[in-house]
Structure 1
Amino acid sequence: MSAMFTYVIINKCIVFQAGIGISANTFLFVFCICTFLNCRPKPSELITGHLALIHIVMLFSVIILVSPDLFESLNFQNDVKCKAFFYMNRVMRSLSIFTTCLLSVLQAITISPSSSCLVRFKQKSRRFIFHMLFYIWSLSLSFNSNMIFYTVNYSNMTKNNFLILGKYCAFLAINSIIRSLFSILSIFMDVSFVGMMVLSSAYMVILLYKHRRQSQHLHSTSLSLRTSPEKRATQTILLLMGFFMVMYWVDLIISSSCTMLWEYNPIILGVQRLVVNLYATVSPLVLISSDKRITNALQNAWQKCH
């Protein structure tokens, strides 16, 4: 009974967390859309809007999967629902990793000095972004296609060779060689993009350190004021990168151990979902609070109301 009570509480926490995340991401996405309509958006704003949309879909799919009543209310076969929502969730998770990496790399290019080899990408950043978005969508859709074939509705099945993922959905047992192949490919892709995040983050930290030393040496307040928006944006990206790294490795440890043992405790699964969704919930709040345009608009609206 205590385990069931804990499972119910965790699911309620997941829904509550997802609700906050969807609200924050929707606000950020609408703000990005308004920016697109009113002026020429910066490349970073395109990526931010894309990331917010990804997190909205990702959190929505989680709510469907952990809410049996909502899952049942959808008028199509449970097997199709399991495949569709698990595939959608995994694709969005991959896109979240890839887009966060793209945001980090773009910020590193943006703040790179004129003497850097990265400066040539500044002029091509907009075209570069659209090419990269097409590339990461193609990767995410193809590398997660196994979810379509191996996710099933197990409620009407009598076999026990599946990994239970919820009240209705499960993974079919896969040949160990095929499972290892998919795991290696998935980990390779994730580690490659996470590695690029680490490199770009380290590069930004070095640039910030050099800029700080230069500012202290020159005692130039004008230089500090002129670069403060870029510095603030870079610090925000670094904060997101650090938070993402922690959440990613916790998720990877839980997921790898459960996949190797071919056993998912419902409570462990719920904790993993909370961890995975935490970045999607916190990242828009960080981006909103660090954007002076949004905070000033909210302050003006608050003053008018009071």
Structure 2
Amino acid sequence: MSSLKNVLNFQAGLGVLANMFLLVSYTFIILNHRPKPTDMISCQLAFIHIVLLLTGGDIWLKEIVESLNVDNDFKCKTTFYINRVMRGLSICVTCLLSVFQAVTISHSTSLLAKFKYKLKKQHMVYAFLFIWSFNLLFSSNRIFYAGAFTNVSEIKQMKVSKSCSLFSTNYIFRALILTVTISRDVFLVGVMLGASAYMVVILFRHQKQHKHLHSLSHLRASPERRATQTILLLVIFFVVMYWMDFIMSSTAVLSWMYDPVILSVQKFVMNVYPTITPLVQISSDKRIIDTLKSLQSKCHQIF
């Protein structure tokens, strides 16, 4: 278990640092340069992933809250609720990112083209407000059956971290919550996959139509193409990791049994996407790479 904890610590640390760097980079780009439409979404996603990693269990939050005089029950309810909200926001914002990119690269004659001019900053703010409000309300039921771990009756509680538990509720209620959650996730993943399939078709047609005009290396170097490929990679990665995590957590909730090793593996799987996402975005965004290169050259000049 100690080795698993070390792996989770390293994973969480890497993810938080990478997302913080990405958040600062995109904030700087948005404030000081002409940002791309997807930069605001990526900035939001980086913030969500930082909070998601910090509230993913006792690994980080214990050290942060331990020095404060906070009731354990309040801490457990708050962190569990925030973590579930962030998980919901992660899938919603990833879905928004894929749809936005699909609309951005759509042809002027397509059905999606009419939405290009409607996707302004103001509409983006409305979309964020709706997504945040929806997830804050959707996950509010978590407050009522999460709390500090007690030794009163282990049958009536399921330990999900060192000091936090889920308390037993009616099986029908658990099944209902799970059904609603699955419905939401299936819908969002379906939209993501649909947008991804549309983008693949657009890229294929673009390459086929312009093959006689441009070399393949030029097509690969296209910023629009590179951004689309990055989002496609993130969507595929998200779908695989999300459903692995969802299957493990749903099985545990319905059977009301959590093995410590399975819980650690689930946390690792849950944190893979928020850890890998900023690394993929940093390595594929030429603006961030150029900024790093310029900073490196300045450091060489100074030292």
TM-score under structure 1 normalisation?
A: 0.92
Gaps of 5+ in 1: 1-6
For 1:302 and 1:65, the matched residues in 2 are separated by 33
CA RMSD of aligned residues (A): 2.1
Identity of aligned residues (%): 47
| 1:24 partnered with 2:18 | yes
Deviation at 1:187, TM superposition (A): 0.9
Q: Distance in 2 between matches of 1:160 and 1:226?
A: 57
Name the SS for the 1:170 alignment partner.
strand
Match of 2:252?
258
> What is the aligned partner in structure 1 of residue 85 from structure 2?
91
Q: Does 1:39 align with 2:33?
A: yes
Whether the aligned pair in 2 keeps the contact of 1:165 and 1:171 (CA below 8 Å) is yes
- Matched with 1:212 is 207
Partner Cα distance (1:267, 1:175) in 2: 26
For 1:193, which of 188, 191, 195 is the aligned residue? 188
Change (3 A) 1:99 1:169: same
**SS of residue paired to 2:188:** helix
Name the TM-score, length of structure 2 as normaliser: 0.93
Asked if 1 retains the 8 angstrom alpha-carbon contact of 2:58 and 2:161, the reply is no
Distance 2:177 2:57 in 1: 26
Give 2:74's aligned residue: 80
Counterpart selection for 1:136 from 131, 137, 144: 131
Q: CA deviation at 1:278?
A: 0.7
Instruction: Give 3-state SS (helix, strand or coil) of 1:237's partner.
Output: helix
Q: Is the 8 A contact 2:77 2:146 kept in 1?
A: yes
Q: Given that residues 149 and 165 in structure 2 are in contact (C-alpha distance below 8 angstroms), is that contact kept between their aligned partners in structure 1?
A: yes
CA separation of 1:144/1:77 partners in 2, compared to 1, >3 Å: closer, same or farther? same
Q: How many residues align?
A: 299
1:56 alignment counterpart: 50
Structure 2 letter corresponding to 1:151? A
Matched residues in 1 for 2:102 and 2:156: separation?
47
SS state of the match for residue 171, structure 1?
A: strand
AA matched with 1:85: T
Q: Summarize deviations over 1:236-263 as a string: whole Å, max 9, x none.
A: 0011111111101211221122122110
What amino acid sits opposite 1:118 in the alignment?
Answer: L
For 1:152, the aligned partner's letter is G
2:15 touches 2:275 (CA, 8 Å); kept in 1? yes
One-letter identity of the residue aligned with 1:111: I
